[in-house]
Structure 1
Amino acid sequence: MKQLLKNKQFVFVLQSELFSVLSFSMFMITISWYVVDVLHHPQYLGLIMAAASIPRMFTMLIGGVLADRIQKSKILFGTRLIHGLLIGILLVGHSQDALSIWLLLIVSFFIGCFDGLFFPALSSLVTTIVSQKQLQSANTLIHSSQELFFLIGPIAAGAILHYFSFSATFTVSIVAAIISACFVYPGFIKDKKPEKPEVKVTFMTELKEGYRYLRSSSIYISAISIIIIVNFFVFGPMFLSLPILAEQLGGNALDLSFLEAGFSVGSLSATALLLFISFRKNRGKMVLVFLLASVLSLGLFSQIPSLGWLIPVAALIGFFGFFTYIPTDVIIQEKTDPAMMGRVMSIVFLASTAFDPISQTLFSSLMTLGFSARFLLAVFASSGLILAIVVFAKAKKWRNMQ
């Protein structure tokens, strides 16, 4: 950890990501409250969230190719500046009383697009500025900081909205985005520029190369299967069920915040432990054991009739889920050719971000057919458990990985 924190390149990248998360989380809570409290159109809130998340899934693939072609710090610097500029459009719109649903949809769409370029560049940059032995600590420090600032951002935005105005929150979000860009200014990071290929190839050709590269190894297939199971069968349904279970059990908004905080405490505890514990033996088997534990915890979560007991079980899900996800991410980075890192990590990020909304859409659709949230949680947990057992049995190379 001392060596890692003496690495100026990494510290700059970490600080940039903290301000980036602060900016984004404040932006999301601000526009959510604006839609509900000012425009009085809560029915459009899901559409705005989708406008910010769906394009990210597609531009991540483009971002992976760009990260292998262009200096990664340039991508981070440019996308953070554009992020601040887009929020500035909302600030101007609000000051001119022209901040409509349509403007929110358009700006959210473009923010999602540029975020898709940002994440593959961030993940692949980390592998070039820290040693392989430091990858777990570096990734864990980034993830734990993200989780912390995803808690701080909404609280800060809520306080500013309460005491000041929407313009104030937009302004703070813009400043945070600009500070984020400054920390990853290419002149500070000085990361190497990727070598230009002797023969020019198209984007589609490079995407196909990345896909074939992943398909060439059973380790990558196992890793992506693990990430999909965690997101589709555990995180997606659990997050959607929190307000439903809180309401069914007679809880209020404070009880809901405790449930969400329980998950955050569990995930932060996992990341804190991973900062100081470096697993170098039986990592593959350990990840699979925690995968099984996470889906079993969701099954337990589906059967608990008390709000008080739901909170510690939500913490268990966060703990086991992050102990599954972060080491898997590190193993992928260790096994990947640096020349393919951007494309590989873009597909990994796609697997980790695309399946949450798909899972939640399916969960909601099944509820409209009359199935209860508890029943569906049990079904998702059972299905995830079966798939996790199949992966455990079939993924011999992953299971025997040291």
Structure 2
Amino acid sequence: MTTTGIRTAPATRKPAHRDGNVLRWLSAYTASMVGDSIYFVALSWAATRSGSPAQAGLVLAVGSVPRAVLMLGGGVIADRFGPRRVVIGSDAVRCVIILAVAVLLLLATPGIWLLVLVALVFGAVDALFLPSVGALPARITSPGELGRVQGMRGFAQRVATVVAAPLGGLAVAVGGPAAGFGVAGVLFAVSLVLLMAVRVRELAPDEEAGTSETARRQLVGGLRYIRGHRVLAPLLLVAAVMELGFSGPANIGIVLLADERGWGAAGMAWTVGGFGVGAGAAALLLAVRGRIARAGAVQSWGVVAGSVALGAIGFAPSVAVAAVAGLCVGLCTGLGGALIGALVQTVTEPAYLGRVTSVATLFTVGFAPMTYPVVGAAIGAWGVEPVFAVSAAVSAAGGVLGLCSGALRHAELPR
């Protein structure tokens, strides 16, 4: 794989929070996340105005299909051509698409099927962007700083979540969907400029092995690499099982719980807000400390403890108790999730990071949302308490599996 035209990261071990190269990547990632959220606000509003509620739901759902189907291929492309090239190219395409939609909405009222096409294309490009942006940290900082980078990344995610909703709502309220798409497009442009200024480390010759293989063989090779890795295999299994039990209750489950208990939107907001504060605090802790001893064991125990707190939300007698339980969920699973990300970055050979990141991301943005209708139907049939209890048990099983793996239990972040 040629590295012509690629900026090379210096071989210095500078603290991540003082490294301009890392901060440029983090700023680009944050701008992209805020842009993503505003895009979804604008898309949902435009779909609601252009079609029926069922059609609006279709627009929001179809984008997840190419994202899930193409995610593994996106990881192969990231490893084959280098994550920096792929992330810049995909970010540029997203920017052009969204700004073009903004202009189109200013000139006309597009039909619902045009919005479906936009959602499909955006989802396909996301399948390239997400593995690539996740594979960059190991090439822009030293191994000992990857834990801090994951903490900074997690904290940026929480900040983006807080900022995006009111900013997107304000843009749509003032200028309609066109303004929302325009703001999202500008943020993607900012992200693109910052990413172009990020320098990356070149791969050593032995790390470039296999780049001449076919894409199919690279994908199979990546999956075999994960399966045969003593730490990665159980680590990704922990993440997958945790998400399987966690995502439904944490999203649609809390909404239905608040409605059933008569807490209203405010009760739901307090519970979700507790989770966000806890997750942000956990990410900030890792960002400040940079390293937590016995990371493999801590992340598994964090998953178990967070799952217990998740189950407790279903039995909470009041909003206050639910909010405190949500805070505990955020602290425990937030720390566990950040450590999972840090361990993935540190134990994976750089040549495989795109494929490994694509597998990890597939569980969170591909498969996990499919549990929402299942959880919703189960709550309708059996009530909140048993569904939260069963989901928490499934999520906790992920942490237990991690504790059963000696290699993962003893895994450490580098100093």
Q: Give the aligned partner of residue 206 of structure 1.
A: 218
Determine the structure 1 residue equivalent to 2:98. Answer: 87
TM superposition shift of 1:388: 3.4
Partners of 2:156 and 2:134 in 1: CA distance: 15
- 1:138 aligns with 149
Deviations 1:238-263 (A, max 9, x none): 21112211211223333333332222
Q: Which amino acid aligns with 2:239?
A: I
| Unaligned 5+ runs, structure 1 | none
The 1:182/1:26 distance shift into structure 2, 3 A limit, reads same
Aligned partner letter, 1:81: A
Q: For residues 88-146 of structure 1, give each alpha carbon's deviation from its aligned partner in whole angstroms, at most 9, with x where no partner exists.
A: 23223322333222111111111111111112111211101100110011121122112
Paired residue for 2:8? none
Query: In structure 1, what residue type is equivalent to 2:267?
Result: D
Equivalent of 1:264 in 229, 253, 276: 276
1:113-124 matches, cutoff 5 A? 113-124=124-135
Summarize the Cα distance change of 1:174–1:244 in structure 2 as closer, same or farther, 3 Å threshold. same
Query: Which residue is 1:339 aligned to?
Result: 351
CA displacement at 1:267 relative to structure 2:
0.9
Distance verdict in 2 for CA 1:306–1:45, change over 3 Å: farther
Higher mean displacement: 208-217 or 335-344: 335-344
**Alignment check: 8 A CA contact 1:249 1:307 kept:** no
CA contact (8 A) 2:145 2:290 kept: no
The 5 Å alignment of 1:244-393 reads 244-367=256-379, 370-392=381-403
User: Is structure 2 residue 101 aligned with structure 1 residue 101?
Assistant: no
Tell me how far apart the structure 1 counterparts of residues 114 and 317 of structure 2 sit (CA, whole Å).
43
* 8 Å Cα contact 1:90/1:99 also seen in 2: no
2:71–2:131: 8 Å Cα contact kept in structure 1? yes
Alpha-carbon contact 1:266-1:319 (below 8 Å) kept: yes
d(CA) in 1 for partners of 2:356, 2:239: 14
- Equivalent residue, structure 2, for 1:34: 46
Instruction: Name the SS of the counterpart of 1:164 in structure 2.
Output: helix
SS of residue in 1 equivalent to 2:231: helix
Contact 1:24 1:173 in 2 (8 A): yes
Match of 2:62 in 1: 51
Pick closer, same or farther for the CA change 1:396–1:250 going to 2, 3 Å: same
RMSD across aligned positions (CA)? 2.2
> What CA distance in whole angstroms lies between the structure 2 residues aligned with 1:147 and 1:199?
36
- Between the aligned residues of both structures, percent identity stands at 22
- 8 Å contact from structure 1 (residues 224, 351) kept in 2: no
My pick for the range that moved more, 375-384 or 175-184, is: 375-384
Distance 1:200 1:133 in 2: 31
Checking the alignment, whether the CA contact within 8 Å between 2:247 and 2:369 is kept in structure 1 is no
Structure-1 residue corresponding to 2:122? 111
Unpaired runs of 5+ residues, structure 2, are 1-12
Cα gap change, 1:90 to 1:255, in 2 (>3 Å): farther
> Post-superposition shift, 1:297?
0.7
Q: CA deviation at 1:148?
A: 0.8
Q: Which amino acid aligns with 1:388?
A: G
Cα distance change, pair 45–154 in 1 and its aligned pair in 2 (3 A): same
CA deviations over 1:201-226 (Å, ceiling 9, x no partner) = 21110000001101112311210121
* 1:226 equivalent among 217, 233, 238: 238
Deviations 1:271-317 (A, max 9, x none): 11111224453222111111110111111111112122211211211
Q: Which residue of 2 aligns with 1:63?
A: 74
> Taking structure 1 as reference, are residues 2 and 192 closer, same or farther at Cα in structure 2, changes over 3 Å only?
closer
Q: What is the TM-score of this pair, normalised by structure 1?
A: 0.92
Question: Separation in 1 of the partners of 2:60 and 2:309?
Answer: 28
Find the residue that maps to 1:184 and give its secondary structure: helix
Does the 8 A contact of 1:238 with 1:377 survive in 2?
A: no
1:24 CA displacement? 0.9
- CA–CA distance in 2 between the matches of 1:63 and 1:387? 26
Contact 1:73 1:125 in 2 (8 A): yes
Once the 2 structures are TM-superposed, how far is the Cα of residue 237 of structure 1 from its aligned partner?
Answer: 2.1
Native 8 Å contact 1:267 1:319 kept in 2: yes
